[in-house]
Amino acid sequence: MHHLLEQQTKRFLRKDAPLPQGWDMLLAAVDDAYSTTDADRQRFEHSLGMISEELAGLRANLAERQLAEAQLEHLLSLLGAILESTTDGMLALDRDGMIVRFNQRFVEMWNISDEIMAFWEHQKVVEHVLNQLKDPGSLREKIAYLQLHPEVESNDVLECLDGRIIERYSLPQPPGVDSVGRILSFRDITARKRAEEALHREKEEQKALIKKLEAAHNQLLQSEKMASIGQLAAGVAHEINNPIGYVNSNLGSLGQHVEKLIGIMEAYERAEPNLSAPSLLEEISSLKREADWEYLKQDVRDLLRESAEGIVRVKKIVQDLKDFSHVDQAEWLCVDLHKGIDSTLNIVRNEIKYNAEVIKEYGAIPPVECLASQLNQVFMNMLINASHAIGEDNHGKITIRSGTGDDMVWVEFSDTGKGIAPENLKRIFDPFFTTKPVGKGTGLGLSLSFGIIEKHRGRIEVESEAGKGATFRVWLPVKQSREQP
């Protein structure tokens, strides 16, 4: 019997009281009803439990979905903000090449009207953009190609009818993104392009200016060289003209003497058949007296000797010129600096002999590895500058000394000229700086000399006091390093 039915029956009947007639059936029916009801209750409670579990799962899923939707909304808001904050015009196309999204910058860049934007018609937007390009077909073909080749990266430059230059760029979408086929970015680079063109023009102008400066510099260097060559030519011409002059004069006199000698010899030839003829002998004697035969014989010998000496002197001057320029030696060689100074002195002799006495106080120095012709150019600049410092109307001394110290050789040029003002001492090696009158110097002599000595890994020291002359000491290494400067 069901426990509930048993409890109710005991409440109304005594424990040992017999059951009324027919109650057995009633109790059986009631007990069956209780059992059925209890089973239904258990099934109902089980169903409620299952429903409760499903509801709990649904609530959890709903919370997750709400969180996911909130995160998605935040992400979309972030992406939208990023899309709108970029300075590039952005255009998103789906897999079929249709517009799915664009930002405000894209609208502003291509001046898309509100009428077109109101309906967001793909074809109208595309045509509006293409109509602003100089070559719309190129962009149309490029977009069609990119739709067929989603893996291709692409960029190009678009020229607009209004003069703007737009840079277009597109990257392929990563795998798994089905809603978007292509994202095209458009950037207005007109200002940048114009700045690049201006910079390019400026660079070209700078290159042209540099070429002009180089040409001017080379021209000035050439002018300095030509000035030096002119000084050399004047000195050489003067020195050569003297011996050539008296050689020419002697040869003229020698020609006249020879004519007289020929006359005497012809007379002898006529008298040879009959030397006993008194008249012919008298003629010969008269000719010898007129020609001063004894003097003539001696003078002819003297003239020939002097002419030979003149020619030797010309050869010496030419050799000194060759030694000065070293036209046959353009390599680094070990040379005797004293010999180079002597050759230079012979070349510039005409420049300095009228206002300066040259005193040589050479010391014992070893041969120096150098470019001899360039060092001779330095020596010439030093000597000419010393002569100019003394002045044309004065007479002074130029002392040349040499010696060694610290594995180096030094050559010193001292003059008794007007000296160098203190404010000019630091500028004398600057290109184009000169204190000489206009037409007397280019201001490149000492600058070139400084560069030559620097090339030889040497240095130039200067001591001067205004009114008391100047001393330039050139230091040079005896040997150059294995790698030539």
What's the pTM?
0.42
236 has pLDDT over 50: yes
Using alpha carbons, select from 259, 95, 261 the residue that is nearest to residue 183: 95
Instruction: Please give the average per-residue pLDDT across 196-223, as a whole number.
Output: 79
Residue 404 in contact with residue 410, Cβ under 8 Å?
yes
378 or 57: whose pLDDT is higher? Answer: 378
Whether 80 has a pLDDT exceeding 60, the answer reads yes
Give me the helix-helix angle, 190-271 and 293-325, nearest 10°. Answer: 160
* CA atoms of 205 and 100, how far apart (whole Å): 49
Exposed e or buried b for every residue in 159-195, given b needs 16+ CB within 10 A? ebeeebbbbbebebbeeeeeeebbbbbbbbbbeeeee
Alpha carbons 110 and 136: distance in angstroms, whole number? 14
**How far apart are the C-alpha atoms of 192 and 172, rounded to whole Å?**
26
Return the structure tokens found at 477. 């290494």
Distance CA 419, CA 227 (A): 23
Residue 404's DSSP bridge partners are 409
Which alpha helices (H) appear in 272-292, and where do they start and end?
278-291
- DSSP per position, 370-407: E-HHHHHHHHHHHHHHHHHHH-TT--EEEEEEEEEETT
**Number of CB atoms found within 10 A of residue 419's CB:** 19
pLDDT score of 6: 59
Unique residue bearing structure tokens 């030696």: 329
What is the sign, positive or negative, of the torsion defined by CA atoms of 221, 225, 226, 231? positive
pLDDT of 224 reads 61
Mean pLDDT highest for which of 71-75, 290-294, 373-377, 467-471?
467-471
Q: Which tokens in the block code for residue 215?
A: 């040409």
Q: What is the pLDDT of residue 233?
A: 58
The whole-angstrom separation of Cα 88 and Cα 82 is 11
**Model confidence over 419-452: pLDDT tens digits?**
888 877 777 777 666 666 545 555 567 878 888 8
Look at residue 154 in the predicted model and tell me its pLDDT.
87
The single-letter code of the amino acid at 193 is K
Q: Which residue has the tokens 């059986």?
A: 28
Top-confidence residue, 72 or 63: 63
- From CA 384, how far away is CA 377, in angstroms rounded? 11
The residue among 42 and 370 whose pLDDT is bigger is: 370
Q: 3-state SS string over 142-179? A: HHHHHHHCCCCCEEEEEEECCCCEEEEEEEECCCCCCC
Alpha carbon distance 420, 462 (integer Å) = 10
Of residues 161 and 237, the one with the higher pLDDT is: 161
> Which pLDDT band holds residue 5 (cuts at 50, 70, 90)?
low
Distance, in Å, from the CA atom of 401 to the CA atom of 292, rounded to the nearest integer, reads: 54
pLDDT of residue 485: 47
Burial track 33-51 (b if 16+ CB lie within 10 A, e otherwise):
ebeeeeeeeeeeeeeeeee
DSSP state of 484: -
* Token pair belonging to 434: 């000169």
